[in-house]
Structure 1
Amino acid sequence: MLTSEQINHFQQKGWVGPLNIFSPAKIAAVKNCLETYSRLIVEADGQEIISFYNNIYHLETPRDLHLFHEPIANLFTDLALIEFLRQIAGNDILLWYTNVFCKLPGQGEIKWHQAKEYYTSSDIDYEKKTLLYDPDEPAINLTVWVALDDADLDNGCMQFANGSHQKIFPMLPSSIPAEEGVFAGISAHKTVWQREQKYSLSYDFNERDWPLETVPVKAGQALIFTEKVMHRSFPNQSNRRRLAIIGRYVRPSTQVYPYRWQGNFIDENGHNIERHYCFLVSGEDKYGQNIIRPGHDLSKEEYQFENCLNQVRFAQVQIPEDKQQLEIYALEKQAIEGDCQEEEPNPILHPRKYIQWKVWDQYRGMSRHEAMKKYTQLVATFPVKNQTKITSDEENIAKSSNNTVGEIEAWLISYLSEGLDLDTEEIDVESSFQSYGLSSAEGVGMIGDLSDWLGTKLNPALIYEYSNISALAAKLAQKNRINSEEGQ
């Protein structure tokens, strides 16, 4: 239970904590879940990030993992936690959202922000209110921020502008470049929206006008705050990870994703939320304007498929390097998306994608039910995967075929021309990749396709080390030449 002093603290400052709410076992279960079902990715700038997958949305995102993973749902429906929330919000409460915030060493800050109706990671779309409140009662939008690692000033703990929840600060649409936006310091967000958004919103907020309070939190502890209080988190300047997870709560009188009732299931961040649902964690729903369930509605067959999908995605099984590798890819696509609707890829620029496309198209007409069944049966035959040695970038370049500078330049020109819808004459080999608006995610994709064409594995950071077509082609061709001469 919150004390009267803690309730007053929340009312005056907009937040309260750190709080000891959860058992060590419950925290350990969530931490194990996230570490089991995640993978390390290196972005084009060399920054490491942790990637998660939502089995309900079929999307690589850290959002709403509670919809599938029971330990996370159990954390945010914990009875002791709900009792705390009742003291602030009243008896009727919905859990509508969760998110994982994993800051690895080197990842940046999340800048000052607040939220009420709109929850966007980039620019604002006033046509898409995430939450639509009942005008006849005070708006409640609570966040529970749970530390799974110690969070301090060095690795990116939270800071609040005390009392700022009493004011709604004007949002300034398209007021700053996207790379300077609220969430731009987190590379994982860049891969979602950087290419599509040139600008980002900001807030008419001056931190010098408010008393600021930095709040370190020990692993297992929690903060409760209203999303209306201005808050931020510091960059991770340590050599330690900072893993945290949040849950967000509203009253049942609040409509969540109200535009879904008009058949629009793409939210303001580009996620398809058609299968989203809320948990009624306390009280009753007298309104019937949200999808509310006690858990996912996957059939036994779908649930088995999703578990096998996670085994493959998170490298828990060894997939033979033969036609079964292509078969498992194609069956996954058929099970999730149905018949292939993608355009035929260019076999020269996208050799792997072309082969995958051909195999997927061979399953045309197979039902999703049958594809799931075949996928599950196939994965069941794979042995547990052992860790394999990752060779260095220098070693991998040396293994590639002997392509000349001109051949590599021609491939890169054609690739950018196709991807950016430009004539090849418009591609300057001396201009930086960044000048063409190539996002971090697209840079990783280009290096991946180049790896396939060369027949070797390249480090995504090459696009930053050799920042234009000329420099990158010269580097790769030089290594090929040296390797060829040494082999003579």
Structure 2
Amino acid sequence: MRAGGQHPWEFILSEQQQRDFERDGFVGPLPRFLPIDEIDALRRELDDLVSNRRSHPLYGRFSVRDWHLVSPLAMRLFTHPAIVRRLQQLAGEDLLLWRSKVFHKAPGDGEIGWHQEWGWFNGEEIGNDRPGLVPTSVGGDWWNLTVWVALDDITPENGPLRFVRGSQKTRFPIRMVPMVDSAFFQDPFIGDPDVATLVERARDNRLVLDIDTSRMFDGIDAHLLSRDALKTYVRNWLSSLQAAITLPFDAPAEDVVTLTMKKGDFVIFTERTMHASLPNDTTRSRIAIDCRVTTSDTLVYPGRLRDDFIDGSNLDITRHRCVLLSGRKLNRANACLHEEGGALPAGLAPRAHGLLGERLLDRADAPGLHCWENRLDARTVPFLGDHKVLGSVLIPGVTYVEMALAAAGEVLGRRPVSVEQVEYHHGLVLQEDAARRIQLSLQREGEGAAVRVHSRPAEGAGPWQLHASLRLRLDVMALPEPGSDAVRAGRRSAV
């Protein structure tokens, strides 16, 4: 990763801070940039979902991962210029937010031992080997940055982060041990749950974070076991699983840094830097949230390309999306969310057409309105190479028809539909060095729908330009596959 260009004086790292990062592997604490009431509101939201082990809308089970795709407050936090501009200084302009995680350290929770993540995020800490990231180059440089934001005042007593300066330059050895001996193991009997609660949590994968316990009690009637026998059974079952721990190492005392922080403060680090946290010896939970950012040429969740949608944390990431924080999306295989500042809709579906893009959040104040958005330039549509004019791609009219039918397919299913009317307004020209944000809207109207396609420059806030408007009608004509000859030959249009 290489440093980006200069930015406005607000929200930037000084030259000394950039040198500190290169030397130490972290920089911070950096000051709060959101109002205290927003920080407190996010804390309450995250405390509730962890304390009540709420099911994640995208993953169908409890998880502390990726709540920024659900929570507008978390999305606002991680897409704020105070974070993005500093990351650009360290990693360049083309950045993807690909993961976030909530850290809820309850009263009495112990320390998290020293550990580092070299960059694959493959789940080795719980015995898995399913890479989350594959960089374009696996040389000596890191390809992920983490931003850890305190949502409480962090004191020496409630579980502060610790770092070992300069440790990002060395890959320390690990050893596989039984799950119950790992640094990340959380005792499922904390809080003294009754048998019914314990069994329910196991079957819903809410018993031990990131571990599939759904079949723990298959063939066992837990209600017939004594309390001690139940604990022994659960511990033995979990001990059969393997996890990674970092072997003991010597760190000079002067290189070990314990970070106390005010709520809203944050630290940026590469997870190659050896890090840990101390116990929470207070009577109140300590909450933080982090996000993980990579360069946009990195392949995120490569298993997707093999139709393998289970990641290293045993989550089904079918509906996961990255967020393009800045610059260009360089790896076109990544699934990205292009909604500006919004949250991922619970009903997000895979793309139905290559140019249609991602479906945006349906608005409660606009029933029947559905929108899709994409970011395109001439390089993203090589299949339209024969539609170039003076080096730029002119989107052909039939493409709008294909996009409209694909959108109708998402909303209406395979119900019969035909194109009743098409009106073209302004040509859509794509250039290699000037991306445009394309938006298609579909408004249900009685037995049909009105479709409009707009675009504007991808950077900045220029006006939307209307390119095409279409009228779709439900009738007896079967819906052809998008891109098929039937679309081109069978449509009826009025220009």
What TM-score, normalized by structure 2, do the two folds share? 0.55
What 5-or-longer segments of structure 2 have no aligned partner?
1-11, 189-205, 212-234, 350-358, 364-410, 412-495
**Residue 183 (structure 1) aligns with:** 184
- The alpha-carbon deviation at position 118 of structure 1 amounts to 3.6
**Residue 233 (structure 1) aligns with:** 277
Task: Indicate the larger mover: 140-149 or 204-213.
Answer: 204-213
User: Does the 8 Å contact 1:9/1:15 carry over to 2?
Assistant: yes
User: Does the 8 Å contact 1:110/1:184 carry over to 2?
Assistant: no
- The alpha-carbon deviation at position 39 of structure 1 amounts to 3.6
**Pair 1:202–1:223, CA change in 2 (3 A):** same
Query: Secondary structure of 2:45's match?
Result: helix
- How far apart in 1 are the matches of 2:116 and 2:251? 16
Query: Secondary structure of 2:262's match?
Result: coil
- How far apart in 2 are the matches of 1:306 and 1:36? 25
- How far apart in 1 are the matches of 2:344 and 2:208? 32
- The alpha-carbon deviation at position 183 of structure 1 amounts to 0.6
User: Does the 8 Å contact 2:58/2:346 carry over to 1?
Assistant: no
Match of 1:7 among 14, 18, 31: 18
- The alpha-carbon deviation at position 202 of structure 1 amounts to 1.5
**Pair 1:134–1:271, CA change in 2 (3 A):** same
**For each residue in 1:373-428, what CA deviation from the matched residue of structure 2 results, as whole angstroms up to 9, or x when unmatched?**
xxxxxxxxxxxxxxxxxxxxxxxxxxxxxxxxxxxxxxxxxxxxxxxxxxxxxxxx
**Residue 324 (structure 1) aligns with:** none
**Residue 89 (structure 1) aligns with:** 91
Residue type of the alignment partner of 2:159: G
**Pair 1:189–1:160, CA change in 2 (3 A):** farther
**Pair 1:213–1:262, CA change in 2 (3 A):** same
Trace 1:19-418 onto structure 2 (pairs within 5 A).
19-24=30-35, 25-40=37-52, 51-119=53-121, 123=125, 127-135=129-137, 138-172=141-175, 174=176, 176-185=177-186, 190=208, 192-193=210-211, 195=237, 197-208=240-251, 211-295=255-339, 298=345
- How far apart in 1 are the matches of 2:276 and 2:13? 24
- How far apart in 1 are the matches of 2:135 and 2:348? 38
- The alpha-carbon deviation at position 199 of structure 1 amounts to 2.9
User: Does the 8 Å contact 2:70/2:344 carry over to 1?
Assistant: no
**Pair 1:233–1:298, CA change in 2 (3 A):** same
- The alpha-carbon deviation at position 306 of structure 1 amounts to 12
Query: Secondary structure of 1:208's match?
Result: coil
User: Does the 8 Å contact 1:169/1:205 carry over to 2?
Assistant: no
**For each residue in 1:226-275, what CA deviation from the matched residue of structure 2 results, as whole angstroms up to 9, or x when unmatched?**
11100001111111221100011000111111111101111122111111
- The alpha-carbon deviation at position 297 of structure 1 amounts to 5.5
Identity, in percent, stands at: 32
- How far apart in 2 are the matches of 1:186 and 1:281? 37
Q: CA RMSD in A?
A: 3.2
Query: Secondary structure of 1:58's match?
Result: coil
Query: Secondary structure of 2:268's match?
Result: strand
**For each residue in 1:342-371, what CA deviation from the matched residue of structure 2 results, as whole angstroms up to 9, or x when unmatched?**
xxxxxxxxxxxxxxxxxxxxxxxxxxx9xx
Residue type of the alignment partner of 2:131: K
What TM-score, normalized by structure 1, do the two folds share? 0.56
Residue type of the alignment partner of 2:282: S
**Pair 1:58–1:4, CA change in 2 (3 A):** same
- How far apart in 1 are the matches of 2:323 and 2:136? 19
Residue type of the alignment partner of 1:112: W
- The alpha-carbon deviation at position 37 of structure 1 amounts to 4.2
Query: Secondary structure of 1:190's match?
Result: coil
Query: Secondary structure of 2:258's match?
Result: strand
What 5-or-longer segments of structure 1 have no aligned partner?
41-50, 308-368, 370-488
Residue type of the alignment partner of 2:146: T
